Amino acid sequence: MAGQVKHNKIFSSIRPDWKLAKLLFSLPAKNTDSLIGAVAKVLEEEGIELVDSTRFLGPLLPAAGVLTRRAPDESEAADMEYGRGLAQRIAGLDLGQTVVVRDRACVAVEAMEGTDETIERAARIAGGGRLVVVKVSKPNQDMRFDVPVVGRQTIEVMRRANATALAIDAGRTLLFDRDDLIRAADEAGIAIQAFAREKTLSIEAAGAAKKT
């Protein structure tokens, strides 16, 4: 299982069958982990085992470092550090995995709408100002599902939104069509950097670093 989970479908007009209706009714909360975890349990009861979704996708998982020709500039790097501390807190609450930052201020936080719509909303709020996108994995990421994914479409959305830099988690983010994605980012002047999780700064640490 890889790709965006359309969590908002639980509010759609689609009528679930009895098994899904029973599953939804039994959930104490309908956040992503609860919902997909319950689906995984039902599949296991049917003899279907979900495995780590990255098991055969090693080349699509970036190592730590700058992935594009251009490295983040000083301002973008500061926004990345601030955003990563914030995004990990949000991800830990299982609300979303993406935040959009401008000048060490959080412009938009992802909920059910997905990364691309979060970036588009941030662009409307920022009024054309330069943005930095930060996408992280959850602190206790279940690698069987809902692993962070970035594709060519996200790069195109960033280009239109004047989002000039992207921070992701090394080894825990899938880059679909990786070569094409990096080429598109280079053409748009977008910097992409993958971070090892142990090097993430908290919001407080990022603020202290700015003061010094």
Domain residue limits, the chain? 7-45, 58-211
- Can you list the pairs that 118-122 forms with residues at least 24 positions away whose Cβ atoms lie under 8 Å? 119/154, 119/157, 119/158, 119/161, 119/163, 120/157, 120/160, 120/161, 122/161, 122/163
- pLDDT tier, 11 (very low <50, low <70, confident <90, very high otherwise): low
**Residue pLDDT, tens place only, 119-137:** 999 999 999 899 999 999 9
The whole-angstrom separation of Cα 58 and Cα 171 is: 8
pLDDT tops 50 at residue 172: yes
- pLDDT tier, 198 (very low <50, low <70, confident <90, very high otherwise): low
**Residue pLDDT, tens place only, 139-150:** 888 787 778 899
Q: Which of 191, 205, 194 is nearest to 73 (CA)?
A: 191
pTM above 0.95, yes or no: no
Protein fold of 58-211: Cytidine Deaminase; domain 2 (3.40.140)
In the chain, pLDDT over 90 holds for what percent of residues?
Answer: 55
